[in-house]
Structure 1
């Protein structure tokens, strides 16, 4: 990005962080589509499976918080994963108001296929691991700043 001067147009599209993030997000998610298609997963469903492979069992509320998705988005996503045979949703025996999400044997087996995805994405992006880790750290800081109260 060019340095800011008196003549810099602060509203130039190519200077906007939001524009770069939006294009990067859509572009990277598009790289996942052909890799997820054989598993029958969308990118949000893949993220849910990643969370479950790491933290199972999870309540629907906990899963939504991890993924930063609202309940209205979580319900159809989980219904589709259940229809695919990857998860079960059952009432919590300690709290009937809560639904617990667990992996089915097919959902657990899917992990082996999914383990091929991260290396394929790294290869496709053509960036070394350190560069991707730095990008991840920078994006994590952006997310944290965007979610923190505006008290500056």
Structure 2
């Protein structure tokens, strides 16, 4: 089947088999390898991308289901001029990554949450939901939580280290 995808602001026409996963199309056909495949069962969150602005596990979505959709991957998170997104800066500042395998999924889940709720820094339950949406085997979750709070504060203009 021929499908049309808008990925990170660029249009793509892709010929896919009906059973092909969005993660495979992003990685293999479009060369966007920042979308990581971990468990391939929707549990670990490493493959999280934004589809229509909402976080989805790309290992659970068939590419044909995305026909005509807008998809944003971790490669599309930074500004067009290459300036890192506030989340990317916060993850670095808070040491919220070690091996980095889970990082793209956490970044995209947090980006979707921040876009949906700019006041996220004041909602510990919502932040716990973002941080709990993926699995990290290296950092523990506290640096990731601090990074999400820091980015939320930066985006709304009250920057500072997260408590």
| TM-score using structure 1 length | 0.32
Higher strand share: 2
Larger helix fraction of residues: 1
Q: Return the structure number with greater relative CO, CA threshold 8 A, min gap 6.
A: 2
Larger Rg: 1
TM-score w.r.t. the length of structure 2 is 0.30
